[in-house]
Structures are given as structure tokens and as C-alpha cells.
Structure 1
Amino acid sequence: MSSDSQDPDPYASPVDPDQATVSVPAERTSLWVDMRTGEDWWAIWCAGILLIVAFAAVWVGQPAELAGNLEAGETVEVVSPLKSFLAKPGSWTENPLDSLSGNGVGILGVFLTIAILFAGAMQIRGKSAIGFLKAFPIVFALAGLAYLLAGQSVVKAYNLEYALWALLVGLIISNTVGTPAFLRPAILTEFFIKTGLVLLGAEVLMSRLLALGLPGIFVAWVVTPVVLVSTYLFGQKVLKIPSKSLNMVVSADMSVCGVSAAIATAGACKAKKEELSLAIGMSLSFTVIMMVVMPAIIRATGMDPILGGAWLGGTIDSTGAVAAAGATLGDEALQVAATVKMIQNILIGVTAFCVAIYWVTYVERDANAPGVGVSEIWYRFPKFVLGFVAMSILFSVLYSTLAGGPELINAMIKGSTKTMRGWFFCLAFVSIGLETNFKQLLPQLKGGKPLILYICGQSLNLCLTLFMAWLMFKVVFAEAIAP
């Protein structure tokens, strides 16, 4: 995803995404300057601050004798002191105001936290903090409206999550009255989503990911790259999609883990915002369909819940949708589905890194120019992915080494960081909608090639994942994972 609207163009002249050449890079800023002003780095700093504060609150507020009680085999409930100060709109049936009951203070707390944190970041980065603070209340209100719509009982029963509503709210505004210019300083799509992804790193714990051992790794790490590469080659060689960046983003979105992978990959291949919006729109649409249809197929065919869960985890794009679909099949399927999906989530960083290397080495390389050095790969690599990996490692260590580590980390996630991550993603989806105009998207859909690419790639993904899940969970490691 291009960040030209927020940061200076790193090249002397823009890159044509349809040509395999790249302009000569301008003089690079020093690492220190980049760490002080770069959006990727500030996503790490902001998420890091939130995680430090969230964990410190749980650590200070933990029950006395937590370790001793756990050693004695007692069940101890750990609750984050921040839980009541960080919330989102709840469920409602007839009166929308019911969604605010007991959540008003928490919603205000989220608003103030993000406003203060991001205004400070904008000021230090040399951007307009005042402009951000003037526009942010409206963007936040639109995100709150998306949560409100998703919380209605009938809508909730159909699993129409906040991401879809946030995108629709933004799209309706941008394609009718138009997005007001004064909102632009707070439409920080990349900043929001990158900060949310670094927060997600604390939830992707290695100890949990390896709970199912090699079966889940084979399903997530073997099928995914095969599908990604096959889909990309299919788009280039068969469909002949003009934009390589659109081809890559759609392939990564569909094969890895939906929106998060699309964002990371878009940053690595400098995809346009319109291309990212198109990929996310298709992903969200098919996610809604798959999370309803796939559990029905699993039940109708009498498929084993372990096998069904692994199939869900390896194919449905959204982690939340995977959990929702798995829950309809029972706790066993939910556990397997969520674990496979989290193992697959590790590939976000790997995919972004490999795409960055491929893009600067082959796609944008001039045949008459010297080869691209390691420094260029580092410059183009999405730095926020480093934050994602670092948080995953750090909190995995805390989870496994601290006395009461699982209870403390779970309390931190459930009581604060998961809520904040949801708001960041919701704000990002609203921003994507506000930045997207269908008139700009129509040329990308010309001939229906992106849609054909997604359908063909997802079909391959469904078949290969089901086969690998059956082979690993029911044949090779059947005895090891038997309940």
C-alpha cells in the first residue's frame, strides 16, 4: 500500500506499477531520522507504548499470591484494571442506545488514548497534530457507527462483522457527498492498520501456535506459499493482469490471512490504495460467504471436527471469521481452526519480506541497471513487521516463563489490547472507505480478471488445504492428536 499521501516519495520520480523499471532512488534518510519520523516505526512505538502500559497495569493489579494459588491447582481469575476504561459499543436489539450501556466510559477512554497518542506521534513526525485532532472525532464517530451497526442482534446473528460496516460507511460517504478535505489529516489508513498489526503480534504466541505441532505447520506453511505463487503466476501468465501489484495483493490476501496480509504485502510491492481496497473488498465479501457455507458443508458431510477446523483455519481469510465459524462446530473445531490460523498468521512477515525482495530484485529492476543491494531491500521492507515479530517473541517468552504468565497475558489481551486492536482496524477500514472511489476501482475490475483470480485461487486453496489437513491430521499424525 502506498504511503505517498502521508510521507515524502522516496523516489525522484514515481514508479509506474505496470512497468518493470524503477527510478533511481533519492538520497536515503539516516536510520535515526527514519525511526523518528517514519510511519512504520511510529506504528511500533505507539503499539509498544500501549502494550507496556497494558501489561504493567495487569502486573501491578494481579491478585496476591497468584503463583502460589496456581501451584496449588486453584483457578485464579486475573482481570485487567484497564478493562472498564477501554471498550466498544455492545449488542442491542431495538434501541441503539442500549449498546452504550456500561460502555460509554470505555469508548471515551479509547478515543482519548488514540487521540493523545497519535497527536503526539504526528507532532514529532513533523505532521499537523492540530489538523489530526480536529478531524479525528468525526472519523472515530464513523468507526463507532460501524461497531453500532455490527452489534444489532439480527446483524450479529449473520456474523456481519464491524469491518464490513466500517468499509461501507466510508464508501457511502466517499461515493456520494465526497470525503471532506478537512478529514484528510485523520484518514491514516496505514498508520492505524500497522499499529493494530503490531498489537496483534502480542496475541500470536509461539506456545499457542505450536500446540498442535507439525500438523498445523504443514497445513499453514506448505499450502499457503504454493497457493500464493500459483495464483500470482496464474494472474500473470493466464489472465495477464496488467498491474503486478494488484495481482500480488489479491494473491496474498486470499492465500495467507486476508486483510492483514494484504496490508503487509501492499506495503512491500507499493500497491495503490485503490488496488488494496479492491482486494480487501473481495476478501470481506467472500469471508462472509465462506464462514456461513463451509460449516454447513462440514456438518452435511459428517466431516470430523478436527479436520473441519483445520480446513476452516487454513482457508477463511479473517481470524475473527475463522473463530466464529469454528465455534459453530464446537470447542474442538474452534481450537484447531484458531491454532492453524494463528500459525498461518506468522507468514504475514515472511510473505512481506519475500515480496519486497522479489519486487526490488525483479519487478522494478531495469535490465541495464546494476543489481539491487541489500540496503534497498531493507529500505523497502515494511518495518512494522519487525514490531509484529518482536512482540510475538517477547510475549511468548513472558507467557511461558513468568509465574502465572498465561493468566497475566490473557488478561492483558482480553482486557485492553484486543479492544484497542479492534478499534485500530475499524478506523483503518473506515479510512479505506473514505479514500476509495468506485470510479477509480472500475478500471481495475475491467474484464472481471481480479474476481476470476480470487475465485480460482480460493478454489485451489480450498482443495489443497482440505487434502493437506486430511493427510496431516487424519493420517500422518492421527494418533498424536486423537482426543
Structure 2
Amino acid sequence: MEENKKEEQFVTERASSSISDLWKKEDYWAIWLGFGLLILGIFLYFPQGPEGMEDKIAKANATLRAESEKAPFKTVAWYRAVDAKKKLKATGSATGKWIKKFTSKPHKWSGNPFQAFFLGDGGTAAKNEKAKPKYDEAKKAEAEALALATASEKAAETAGFKDQALNAEAVKAIDAWHSAHTKASKAKKKAGAKSYNQIFYLVGLMIFMAIFFGIGMQVMGTPFVEFVRGFVFVFLIAILAYTAASNATMKHYGIGYAAWAILFGLIISNTVGTPKWAMPAVQTEYYIKTGLVLLGAEILFGKILSIGVPGIFVAWVVTPTVLISTYLFGQKVIKIPSKTLNITISADMSVCGVSAAIATAAACRAKKEELTLAVGLSLVFTSVMMIVMPAFIKAVGIPHVLGGAWMGGTIDATGAVAAAGAFLSDRALYVAATVKMIQNVLIGIIAFCVAVYWCAKVDCVEGQKVSVMEIWHRFPKFVIGFIAASIIFSSLYGAMGKDVGYVLIDHGAIRGMSKIFRGWFFCLAFTSIGLATNFRELKEYFSGGKPLILYAFGQTLNLILTLTMAYIMFYLVFPEITAKI
């Protein structure tokens, strides 16, 4: 019994393997469950391409080619052709719309939290009426901008596109129109809100997820009924976290569900205490590992290569440099007693936040309290950086491509990177998200390297050679699912081609299945972290503030090196790639 308690303190069990692990270990269940959802996504969305998809894509591509040959800049027709392709989404099918309703999180609200779950016809009408003036204003601004853009483009065309001043004026006017068009589209969406009742869907989703995860728990030794009873409690807190995060003010300041989930869990666990009957469902690693397998499908090699070598250098050269430097700083300079805490924080900060922390903690057998501490630091710094960095970039006039690469390589969470990039521009968002995607590839590599290093240097016995099997025992197996999902979906994306892949994979199996469920699984994991954490147990790790010093040092180094590398790669070595973004 005492031995079991000791084992429960760690992210993974002691090194051992057997064939029964395939159905008795959560790493493998994460793979089976994750791939089950991915296969379901393929089955549901691949036959659901929009009507006339190939003809519409061909027509849009013909326009893009013609406009590219005609003008030395992106014309109004060019942007309209791009927008036409973007509207083609498998998630727009009847199946996709139903799945979106079924898996939808609490809606945005302000003033009345009940609106996160229910909005009747009366409330919808009032909401639309309130949004209509802004939409009318945005629509008028778009029309005026379009007229100016069309006239400017015509003037440049009349001059044979040889007058650089007219060309520059046309580019400026077209960019202004496209920005106004985007704003008008968003305003139209707000003015066209529809009534909803999310309560019954959330109940159905809870039942589905309880069964989904409960089957694995039953096979792994936890009674199904006990898990389901506890899962209801965990799921309700997850909903509460999403509700808080969907508040208009919280959305404005970028305070997401992860912070709320951990906070609510911590409040419960450190006041009244997490109920014992709920503990069978407090399964941080089970939820997040399944989510990470789904994340693998979202890392498409075709997208990674879209910004080429500059992005790879920013992500794959700086990241390991920062990780190793931070780890050495922790060991040699501030002398953190726990090597597992040191490497977990270093990976969390340098690679991609929580996902890397989970994989690294599993590889080095870190204590669960150490993982919680690393995740907590990551969330705090991420919340600050996603607001401060875009504001700083805009204030000092850093080019948006450079700023996007900088944020993509330094802000931990993928969602926070996207939000920060969106604060600047579409170009910044594109570069930031792509660099972060490239960086995410390192999750598996880092986990493997940490497993090898820990076997050979940290947990080694003097005079004993490290066997391949020892490394295999320690290696977090769910990473195999993560890598396999990435390879399979990248291959499918490549075989289909960029345009069809965008419709059926990116805006089908991924955004209509993988990404939706991954968000829920991560929220359940963050809730579990809070519910399983006791401040008294964390106190010893904060001795002298060393973890905070370590994180601050590593992130400072990360900010400096990433900005330097991004500038060198995007503006000095490969300016031609930057010009095409």
C-alpha cells in the first residue's frame, strides 16, 4: 500500500513493460482513444466536402493565377478569390454543424452568466438590434474602402503597373479595404446571432465523455461507476472554468479556461478539500495525453514548410539551446535541488508549455507536484506575455512577420500564440502560429532525449550500462501516438493537396473533431491539476524562489535569442521568403 502511494506521486510508474500495457496503461489508452476520435473525424468529414468544391477551387485558383500575372501586388479580385476558397469547409455540412453544437463550450456573455448556456428569441433580437448600428457602420466603411481600392487599382493598371507611387497607393488602399472587409464580416456575425440552449448538449457531452474515458479506466482497474460519479464533479468544474473564461471582460484580457480551471480546482482542494469520491476521475495525465495525441494530427508538415527554413531555425535551433542553457543555469548557478523539477520547468518554458511539461515530466519521472508547479508558472507568464508582447511590438514598430516569429517562439501555449498574433495582423498570426507548430514537433524529440539522458546520467547505476529497453521503458508511449498522428495526417494532407486538405482535414477532421475535443480534454486536465494540488505540498519547491528565478532567466534568454534568430533568418538570410508571406 505504501509503495502504491509512492508511485502515485510520480507522473509515470517505474520502468517496466509487458504486453498487457497495451490495455492497462494510460499512455496506450490515450493513443487508442485519440485515434478513435481521429478515425471518426475522417469517417464523418471526408465524404462531406461542400457541393461543387473542386470546381470552386479551380475557379478561385484560376483567378489567383490571372491576378498574379496581371499585377505586381495582391488585387481586390485576388483577395476575393482567397476568401472564396476559405469559405469552403467540411465543417459547414449538416454533420459538422451538429457536432459543433454538441461539443460547443459556454457562449460569450457579459452581465448575465446564464447567457453562456441559454439565449432565447427575445434576447437574440435585443442582441442583434444592439449590434446592428456597428454592422451598418462597418458595412458603409467597407463600401467606401472598396471604392477607393478599386479606383486606386484601376489607376495603377492604367499606368501599366509601372508607376511605383501608384502601385504603393493601390496596395495601401487594398489593404485598408481588406481590413475593413474583415471588420464588416465580424460585425455581420455579431448582428446575426441566433438563439441557443446549450444545457442539454452539455449534459449529453458529459455522458459521452464519461463513457469515453470510463471504459479505459474500467480496464485499467478503476470501477466504471466510481469514475463516472467523480467525472460529473470534474466536468462541472470544467464547465465553470469555460463559463468564467467566456466572459467578455476575461476574453478581452486573454484570461483563458486553463487559468480558471486550475484556480477553481485549487480553491476546492485547499479549502473544503477535493471529495474522495471524485478522486477516481481526477486523472490529469489521462486527459492531457489523449489531447496531445489529437494535437499531433494538427501538426501538418505541409504547413510547417510553408515558411521554410527561417521558421525551422527559429524553432529548432533556439529552443534546444534555451532548454539546455536553462537547465544548466538551474543546476550550476541557482542550484535547484530537484533535477526533475529543473528539466520540467526548462522544457515547459522553452518548448511549448504544458504539452512539453507533461512529456518531459513523464520521461524523467518527475513528481506530480513538480509538474503542477511548472504548469502554474507557465500559465502566469503566458497570460502576461500574450498581452504585453503584441502591445510592445506595435509600440516600437517591429515588423509583423518578425513580431509573429518572436511570439511564436516564446509564448508557451498554442492558443495564446494565436490570440497574440491576431492582436497584430493576419500576417503576424500566420507566422506566429506556424512557428509554434514547428516548435510543437519537438515535444516527442525532447521527451526521447530526456529519457535517454536520465537513464544514462541521472538515474544511472555506476558501472551499469544503459540498455535500449531501459530507455524504452521510460519513454512516454503516448508520444508515439502524437508522432504517428502527425505523420498520417500530414501524408493525407499532402496527398489531397493544399486546397482540398484545407477543406476536409484542416476544416474538417481537425477543426471539426480533433481541436474541439482537445480543448475539452485539456480543460479536464487543468481542472484535475487544481483538484489534486495542495499548497502545503508545493511549499518546499518554492524555497528561495528558485523556480521563479529559473523560469524568468530562461524566458529572458528565450526572448533575446528568438528575436535575434528571427531577425537574422527572416530579414538577413531569407528576405525573399519573408517578402512572400
After superposition, the Cα gap between the structure-2 partners of 1:385 and 1:421, relative to the gap in structure 1 and judged at 3 Å, is same
The residue that corresponds to 1:18 in the other structure is none
Q: Match for 1:166: what amino acid?
A: A
* Counterpart pick for 1:43 among 30, 35, 46: 30
| Whole-angstrom distance in 2 between the partners of 1:4 and 1:326 | 41
Query: Is 1:96 matched up with 2:99?
Result: no
Structure 2 counterpart SS, 1:4: helix
**How far, CA to CA, are the matches of 2:228 and 2:330 in structure 1?**
43
Structure 1: distance between partners of 2:536 and 2:298: 38
Counterparts in 2 of 1:9 and 1:43: CA distance versus 1, 3 Å: closer
Q: What amino acid sits opposite 1:46 in the alignment?
A: L
Work out whether 1:377 is the aligned partner of 2:477. no
1:78 paired residue among 90, 108, 116: 90
Cα pair distance change 1:418/1:10, threshold 3 Å: closer
Quote the residue 1:447 is aligned against.
Answer: 544
Counterpart pick for 2:245 among 136, 147, 150: 150
1:60 is the counterpart of 2:47: yes
- Are the aligned partners of 1:110 and 1:420 in contact in 2 as well (CA < 8 Å)? no
Instruction: Report the CA distance between 1:418 and its aligned residue.
Output: 1.2
Partner of 1:21: none
Aligned pairs (5 A) from 1:270-309: 270-309=365-404
Deviation for aligned residue 1:474: 0.8
Within 5 A, what are the aligned runs for 1:302-341? 302-341=397-436
Residues 1:9 and 1:330: Cα distance change in structure 2 (over 3 Å): closer
Q: Distance in 1 between matches of 2:567 and 2:415?
A: 23
Q: What is the CA–CA distance in structure 1 between the aligned matches of 2:414 and 2:49, rounded to whole Å?
A: 29
Question: Retained in 2: the 8 A contact 1:88–1:106?
Answer: no
Which residue matches 1:14?
none
Query: Is the 2:11–2:367 Cα contact (8 Å) retained in structure 1?
Result: no
Q: Is the 8 A contact 2:310 2:566 kept in 1?
A: yes
TM-score by length of 2: 0.77
How far off is 1:371 after superposition? 1.1
CA–CA distance in 2 between the matches of 1:201 and 1:121?
Answer: 21
Task: Provide Cα deviations, 1:152-177, integer angstroms capped at 9, x if missing partner.
Answer: 11111100000000000000001111
Contact 2:401 2:578 in 1 (8 A): no
Q: CA deviation at 1:309?
A: 0.5
Distance 1:135 1:282 in 2: 28
Instruction: Tell me how far apart the structure 1 counterparts of residues 520 and 12 of structure 2 sit (CA, whole Å).
Output: 29
Structure whose residues are more often helix by fraction: 2
Q: How far did 1:366 drift?
A: 1.6
For the 8 Å contact 1:86–1:109, the answer to whether it is kept is: no
How has the CA–CA distance of structure 1 residues 6 and 246 changed in structure 2, closer, same or farther, with 3 Å as cutoff?
closer
- Please say if 1:112 is aligned against 2:207: yes
C-alpha distance in 1 between matches for 2:9 and 2:334: 33
Q: Which residue matches 1:427? A: 524
1:127, distance to aligned residue in structure 2 (A): 2.4
Distance of 1:343 and 1:398 partners within structure 2: 18
* Contact map agreement 2:11 2:365 (CA 8 A) in 1: no
1:34-79 CA-partner distances (Å, limit 9, x unpaired):
1111110000000111111122111233334433443343743322
Shift of the alpha carbon at 1:111? 1.5
2:495 paired residue among 401, 413, 417: 401
Q: Distance in 1 between matches of 2:422 and 2:385?
A: 14
Q: How far does the alpha carbon of each residue in 1:280-301 deviate from its partner, in whole angstroms, 9 at most, with x for none? A: 1111001111111111111111
Higher Rg of the two aligned structures: 2
Structure 1 residue 279: deviation in Å? 0.7
Partner Cα distance (2:6, 2:225) in 1: 21
- For residue 323 of structure 1, what is the amino acid of its counterpart? A
Contact 1:86–1:416 (CA<8 Å) still a contact in 2? no
CA gap of 1:190–1:8, structure 2 versus 1, over 3 A, is closer
2:557 matched to 1:467? no
Aligned residue-pair number: 465
Residue 22 (structure 1) aligns with? none
**1:177 is aligned to 2:272:** yes
For residues 509 and 445 of structure 2, what CA distance do their matches in structure 1 show?
Answer: 27
Q: State how far apart, in whole Å, the 1-side matches of 2:566 and 2:12 are.
A: 44
- Report the alpha carbon displacement of residue 426 of structure 1 after superposing the two structures with TM: 0.4
C-alpha distance after superposition, 1:360-402 (max 9, x if no partner): 111001214x112000101110010110111111111111213
The Cα shift of 1:412 comes to: 2.3
Tell me the CA shift for residue 117 of structure 1: 1.2
Which residue identity lines up with residue 110 of structure 2 in the other structure?
A: T
CA RMSD of aligned residues (A): 1.8
Match of 2:173 in 1: none
Gap regions ≥5 residues in structure 1: 12-24
> What is the Cα deviation at residue 105 of structure 1?
4.3
Unaligned runs of 5+ in 2: 61-83, 119-195
Which residue of structure 1 aligns with residue 78 of structure 2?
none
Query: Does the C-alpha gap of structure 1 residues 295 and 193 become closer, same or farther in structure 2, counting only changes over 3 Å?
Result: same
Shift of 1:459: 0.6
- The answer on whether the counterparts of 1:236 and 1:247 sit within 8 Å (CA) in structure 2 is yes
Question: How many angstroms apart in 2 are the aligned matches of 1:255 and 1:174?
Answer: 29
Is 1:400–1:406's contact at 8 Å kept on the other side of the alignment? no
**In structure 1, what is the Cα distance between the partners aligned to 2:411 and 2:395?**
19
**1:212 partner SS:** helix
Q: Find the aligned partners of 1:72 and 1:9 in 2 and give their Cα distance.
A: 53
Instruction: Determine whether 1:4 maps to 2:7.
Output: yes
AA in 1 matched with 2:487: I
Hey, what's the Cα distance between the residues in 1 that align with 2:49 and 2:204? 22
Identity value in percent: 54
Partners in 2 of 1:164 and 1:431 — Cα distance? 12
Residues 250-269 of structure 1 mapped to structure 2, 5 A cutoff: 250-269=345-364
CA contact (8 A) 1:87 1:110 kept: no
Alpha-carbon contact 2:296-2:484 (below 8 Å) kept = yes
Of 283-292 and 102-111, more deviation after overlay is shown by 102-111
